[in-house]
Amino acid sequence: MTDTLCPPASRELAEKRRDLAPETEKAFQAFSRQVFADGALPAKTKQLIAVAVAHVTQCPYCIKGHTKAALRHGATRQELMEAIWVAAEMRAGGAYAHSAVSLAAMDEADKPAQ
């Protein structure tokens, strides 16, 4: 991440976020730990979901962080790539599904004005 829109993650940035809103930062970290803890879904599955979602939201920080977390929780490279392909299909599928809105607008445009 070398472009200026996404400065590299650093301890200094983390400290700045914490210093500017310490209670919110503390609550967010607690929330994150709870969300990614083993539960009905194991932590590995949650991290694979996070990798897929990060690709849809296109957050480079999340992609990198959750990919590493998924690997730490035992995900394989193949599992990670499949999760990414699921994300790609869902993103493409959204465009395909929303074509119904455009098709309806085309049909409306064909109707005579009243």
Q: Does one domain contain both 27 and 46?
A: no
Range of the domain at 104: 41-114
Q: Does one domain contain both 45 and 74?
A: yes
Domain of 76, CATH number, reads: 1.20.1290.10
Q: Does one domain contain both 30 and 49?
A: no
Kindly state whether residue 88 falls inside one of the protein's structural domains. Answer: yes
pLDDT averages per 10-residue partition of the chain, 114 residues: 75 94 96 98 98 96 97 98 97 94 95 84
**What is the total count of domains within the chain?**
2
Check residue 68 and give its pLDDT.
Answer: 98
Check residue 1 and give its pLDDT.
Answer: 47
Nearest to 32, CA basis, from 45, 21, 46, 12: 46
Kindly state whether residue 50 falls inside one of the protein's structural domains. Answer: yes
Check residue 3 and give its pLDDT.
Answer: 59
Helices (H) and strands (E) in the chain, counts: 5, 0
For residue 58, the 8-state DSSP code is T
